[in-house]
Structure 1
Amino acid sequence: MLENQRQAEVLWPRLVANKLFRKPSGSHAFVADFPMAVDDDFDGEAVPAAVESFDDDGCSPDADACRSVKRPRPRPQQRASNKTLKYRLFASTWNVGGVAPPDDLDLSDWLDTRNAAYDIYVLGFQEVVPLSARNVLGADKKRVGMRWNELVRAALNRSSPSAPNSSRDQREAKGTGGGAAAAAAGGGEIKQQAAQQKVHPVRDGIGGGGGELACRDYRCVVSKQMVGILLTVWVRADLARFVRRASVSCVGCGVMGCLGNKGAVSVRFWLHDTSFCVACCHLASGGRDGDEAHRNADATEILSRTTFPRGHSLNLPQKILDHDRVILLGDLNYRISLPEAKTRLLVERQDWKTLLENDQLRSEVESEGGAFHGWNEGAIAFSPTYKYYPNSDTYYGCASHGRKGEKRRAPAWCDRILWRGAGLKQKRYDRCESRLSDHRPVRALFEVEVGAPRRNLNSLRSFFLSERFDGGRSAAADLLREDGTASSARFGDTI
């Protein structure tokens, strides 16, 4: 108890100062399996490592923020010459209601690992710890977040039942697969395997290689927790070497407008030459008149106060909306603007059309000047995700289950996934039927277009003819001047 009091004494002045100066709250540290690649020109293998925590005292969360990188951000006309790759991105949000995950919790159904293999997983949690004063004012309970990450890792990297004799099954049987310690102990083996892997992007909406279900291998590229909000991003291990400049930003919008019981954890990263930003939000709760305005204010604060490092010599996007592909998900807490009795009746009839016509978030998306005007959301064809009795399929406050004096909360679609960006195409939008908490998880599948540089002879030719290379004394440069169509073999022999 004394330790928590001391932590509160340390945190309060900083939190108040952050509010007064409108600075993002929280640390810029995050957890990842792989160190980020430093330079855009470096496409080599990233050496797998044990789970690392990057902080302000050691390695910067933005690799370009602590190293001088000469190459500027590609201009739009340069990007036009890039090739386009397509990947499958799985995004999901889940308010787990402060319930600690049991040891035997299987996340395979939620992550849809039995039916399809995705290239990228973006997972947002809310209330991974109860939002008590001790948890809000004290240090983040990172052990709970790490436990959720362990369960995600176990579900994603579990081999398909169709391949019981796979190499991963054998490693797990020996106790060498899955965890961070295993990654550290078998780093050389993993590095050797990664060197033999190839990237198989999605084409025509088909996953990155049907055979990958037999032996999957995913790695966490960034994971960040602020009080009860946890955002974690996972990619196929062979894609991790193309992920760069991961960085995080935390904005608290809770008590005093700055504490982390409400707010957002945002992550940005590059995949090839395309920038991504994901914001996991938990907005103001409440179904009374005026509570919608509080949620709108939280959303405005998150979009304005979230800031990422620009990086030395690089004009990197700093704000959420500056990125190429943007996904915003979480417990946004928007309700249905109808009387409770009518809302329950329409839910029983599954009259989603009438309910959505009175949905507060849809109004903010579609109305000019709304808090989320310009964002996109898929068609909703599933039941409201809030609020259920724990371990039940019954909505909270129903006459058959309600108790005297119990608050009656009308059902609502509190858990949502929005997106922006021309290269995102939503293929699915549904919910998962887990009874762990009073919310149901919501998930979406996206087909994502990503720009990647074309590595060909022309790029080598421009290097050897540039000022950085003395072409007058180079036989290779003379060859390129005389014969611009020289083959790569002839070019290599000359060098």
Structure 2
Amino acid sequence: SPFRPLSEVRSMREVRSMRLSHFLARSPSVIKTESFRVFISTWNVGGNTPTAELNLDDFIPADDHSDIYVLGFQEIVPLNAGNVLVIEDNEPAARWLALINRTLNRTVDGDADIFCHKPSLSLDSTSSRSSSNLDASFSNRSGSAIFQSSLKSIRKPYMPTQRKLLKICNCSVEMPRKSYKDACFGCPQAHINETDSSEEDEVDDRSNNASGYVVDGVISSASASSDQLKYNLVSCKRMVGIFVTVWAKKELVPHIGHVRTSCVGRGVMGYLGNKGCISVSMTLHQTSFCFICSHLASGEKEGDELRRNSDVLEILRATQFPRICRRAGQRIPEKIIDHDRVIWLGDLNYRISLSYEDTKKLLTENNWDALFQKDQLNTERDSGRVFRDWSEEKIYFAPTYKYTFNSDSYSGETATSKKKRRTPAWCDRILWHGDGIAQSSYFRGESKFSDHRPVCGSFTVEVYLLDGKSKRRTSNTNIRIGAEELLPTSKNKFT
């Protein structure tokens, strides 16, 4: 089996961790496991804004039918001073969401286009009319409400109708849940992430009516039939050029909860968002997941890899997810490493420690093993300086950076690109941490849209489920605990 057995003896450090699975493991008879497929893609798009003609098959293969998709981007806007310090331009994020939705939800019940009942709003990739509609919906930049509205209002049409339930504690409780306060029994520590307040949702509802330019255009085509979509948007977050989205099959959405995000800036002055990460935490049934989408320090000078190591260590240290609820016998992770299943994706920017000429020679020979021996991430991991105890599948594809735009040639191979020469490198990577994860594929796409090639990975993950009897026992226990938590104590006085 590709999985580590659940009965494997763990170190005392792991036993002391806050992983949800360790608490469940105390009563192994009350849980079972089920396998789900998770697809991961990362792409540095070089500040380029997509048009409707862009085909995402190199980013989301048409023949893939995973249960969960985690799709991360870097540089969805140019990393200039205006975008880093001043402007929040949501046009690129809105376009990427529309394209991803079109790709994942292209058919329902055979090959029928889910938007065929609204041909003027169609997102069919084979239709030139739909392409012009998508472009037209974003064309009038000046004065358009989309660029002043929040990402929350832009993402809303792709999310499930009961999207607020994703943000709350969904531990097994056999009682109706109307709000996060009900779900957590009024626990004083229970709260929603600052980006997820119901008050802001109400504001967005009003702003959507005022900014029908987007919501009544292409994007709202998803909203009109959200119950018919095969995949729903579960989480979506942007920090300057870093952008991450998580999508799940509609039937899985009721079993997803505790969705939280955390951002760590590592750019200008060590904290601005042109570099850094966005992390997404969530639970599926009784298993916790964390997905980290990052863009680390650039540079191919000797010693630049140490800056990237520092970024990783600071991200692991500084990432903190808000506490949603506190319940005896169960803890929701607040740090990256405390999650049961962790996947890290992004432009990690690690280079190959060889000259341009030596690298090119090995490239022409397809000698991936010799190149990988000089890969900085590989050597830094082997030395224990970074990503210790993390795993990465063996690489059998060419370096993904740096290409001449709209070309299969690496930058520097032609006379016009020599001054922009970079030694080819595997900058774009996917790593994972934790038990119960098996990677089945690791490959790159061949889209020429950017100077990077997208990198993708398919995973099978084990997820813990409570059986029916366990759920009833857990419900009764939680109701009792919830009632006790409502009683005032010396540490918790009602005001």
TM normalised by structure 2 equals 0.68
- 1:144-293 equivalences under 5 Å are 144-159=92-107, 163-164=110-111, 166=112, 168=114, 170-173=116-119, 217-293=230-306
- Deviation of 1:418 (Å): 0.3
Question: Paired residue for 2:459?
Answer: 446
Residues 93-119 of structure 1 show CA distances to partners (whole Å, capped at 9, x for unaligned) of 000000011122121342112x13111
Tell me, in whole angstroms, the C-alpha distance in 1 between the residues paired with 2:474 and 2:428: 50
Question: Paired residue for 1:126?
Answer: 74
Contact kept, 8 Å, 2:24 with 2:31, in 1: the verdict is: no
Tell me, in whole angstroms, the C-alpha distance in 2 between the residues paired with 1:278 and 1:323: 10
Q: Aligned partner of 2:357: which letter?
A: A
Question: Paired residue for 1:92?
Answer: 41
Structure number with bigger Rg:
1
Contact kept, 8 Å, 1:308 with 1:318, in 2: the verdict is: yes
Tell me, in whole angstroms, the C-alpha distance in 2 between the residues paired with 1:92 and 1:407: 27
Question: Paired residue for 2:431?
Answer: 418
Contact kept, 8 Å, 1:123 with 1:231, in 2: the verdict is: yes
Residues 332-382 of structure 1 show CA distances to partners (whole Å, capped at 9, x for unaligned) of 000011122101111111111110011000112222x32111110001000
- Deviation of 1:261 (Å): 0.8
Q: Secondary structure at the match of 2:450?
A: coil
Residues 187-210 of structure 1 show CA distances to partners (whole Å, capped at 9, x for unaligned) of 99x9xxxxxxxxxxxxxxxxxxxx
Question: Paired residue for 1:38?
Answer: none
Is 1:302 matched with 2:251? no
Contact kept, 8 Å, 1:98 with 1:130, in 2: the verdict is: yes
What are the ranges of 5 or more consecutive residues in structure 2 without an aligned counterpart? 1-19, 125-133, 135-152, 164-227, 482-495
Question: Paired residue for 1:381?
Answer: 396
- 1:392-431 equivalences under 5 Å are 392-398=407-413, 400-403=414-417, 406-431=419-444
Tell me, in whole angstroms, the C-alpha distance in 2 between the residues paired with 1:302 and 1:181: 28
- Deviation of 1:184 (Å): 6.7
Q: Secondary structure at the match of 1:249?
A: strand
Tell me, in whole angstroms, the C-alpha distance in 2 between the residues paired with 1:416 and 1:185: 27
Q: Secondary structure at the match of 1:102?
A: coil
Is 1:341 matched with 2:360? no
2:26 aligned to which of 73, 77, 84:
77
Q: Secondary structure at the match of 2:252?
A: helix
Contact kept, 8 Å, 1:425 with 1:447, in 2: the verdict is: yes
Contact kept, 8 Å, 1:176 with 1:182, in 2: the verdict is: no
Q: Aligned partner of 1:384: which letter?
A: P
C-alpha RMSD over aligned residues: 3.2
Cα pair distance change 1:80/1:370, threshold 3 Å = farther
Contact kept, 8 Å, 2:256 with 2:283, in 1: the verdict is: yes
Contact kept, 8 Å, 1:159 with 1:169, in 2: the verdict is: no
Question: Paired residue for 1:371?
Answer: 386
Identity, in percent, stands at 45
Q: Secondary structure at the match of 1:122?
A: strand
- Deviation of 1:455 (Å): 1.1
Q: Which has the higher contact order (CA 8 A, sep 6+)?
A: 2
- Deviation of 1:143 (Å): 2.6
Contact kept, 8 Å, 1:140 with 1:226, in 2: the verdict is: no
Cα pair distance change 1:355/1:152, threshold 3 Å = same
- Deviation of 1:140 (Å): 3.0
Cα pair distance change 1:186/1:256, threshold 3 Å = closer
Task: Tell me the number of residue pairs that the alignment of Structure 1 and Structure 2 aligns.
Answer: 368
Q: Aligned partner of 2:354: which letter?
A: L
Give every structure 1 segment of 4 or more consecutive aligned residues whose post-TM-superposition deviation is greater than 6 Å.
176-188, 461-467
TM normalised by structure 1 equals 0.68
Tell me, in whole angstroms, the C-alpha distance in 2 between the residues paired with 1:105 and 1:136: 26
Residues 53-89 of structure 1 show CA distances to partners (whole Å, capped at 9, x for unaligned) of xxxxxxxxxxxxxxxxxx9995431355211111111
Cα pair distance change 1:77/1:257, threshold 3 Å = same
Contact kept, 8 Å, 2:160 with 2:233, in 1: the verdict is: no
Residues 430-488 of structure 1 show CA distances to partners (whole Å, capped at 9, x for unaligned) of 000000000000000001110111113x654787799959xxxxxxxxxxxxxxxxxxx
Question: Paired residue for 1:327?
Answer: 343
2:373 aligned to which of 357, 362, 366:
357
What are the ranges of 5 or more consecutive residues in structure 1 without an aligned counterpart? 1-70, 191-214, 470-495
